[in-house]
Structure 1
């Protein structure tokens, strides 16, 4: 793992950057949180074609959106990166409705309840 010094993060060898844990990549690719690889790939291709900079005369917004779509795809299509992202996501609670929050973190909530961590005994 990398180390921090003077406010900068030194990434592990061969890693240029880590996923942005402040973006919801599932929303970027317009997929459900439990989407299979084929759905992720299909939505990626649809959005990449829609936002390709060549179709928007090189507009900066289109370039940024296209890069965001590519970044989300690289993380969600790779099982190891997806797991790291899912476990490390730090998206503000205010970005979700109650239904989205429950759907997004359903696995964590069910796991905690399954381990007996979901209920606090009343004394």
Structure 2
């Protein structure tokens, strides 16, 4: 649906659908898409509606995340259900908005980004 040139996305966490990090590179998104599309392709799961639905969801996620304009729009305007995120997921998902604060002139290599990296290392153990 279109509304004032902004797309409203029915909430799906496309990054989770493609099993990639929120700051994944285009290459990582493409590789995971191919892996998942092959795994869930309807030809491999004949007469399985759940697999077909999963395959369609994967294609939908890739169509948004593989297009730089759609991905930016999704990242900025997606419907975020914050209660569905753990703290590390929340920080990873929104670090671009929280930490870089381009309007404030903070860069990606700021002290805050270093602290988030350290936090992620601690929580991954």
Any idea what the Cα deviations from partners look like across 1:66-89, whole Å, max 9, x if unmatched? 000000001001100000000011
Question: Structure 2 stretches of 5 or more lacking a match?
Answer: 106-125
Contact 1:31 1:40 in 2 (8 A): yes
The structure-2 alpha-carbon separation of the partners of 1:94 and 1:55, relative to structure 1 and needing over 3 Å to count, comes to same
Describe the SS at the equivalent of 2:30.
helix
Taking only aligned residues, the RMSD between alpha carbons, in angstroms, comes to: 2.5
Aligned to 2:47: 58
The offset of 1:115, in angstroms, is: 2.7
CA contact (8 A) 1:51 1:65 kept: yes
Question: Aligned pair 1:89/2:78, yes or no?
Answer: yes
Instruction: Considering fraction of residues, name the structure with more helix.
Output: 2
TM-score normalised per structure 1 = 0.75
Q: Which moved more, 1:106-115 or 1:22-31?
A: 106-115
State the TM-score, normalizing by the size of structure 2.
Answer: 0.74
Which among 98, 102, 122 is matched to residue 91 of structure 2?
A: 102
Unaligned regions of 5+ residues in structure 1, if any?
5-11, 13-17, 117-123
CA distance in 1, matches of 2:79, 2:18: 18
Retained in 1: the 8 A contact 2:41–2:51?
yes
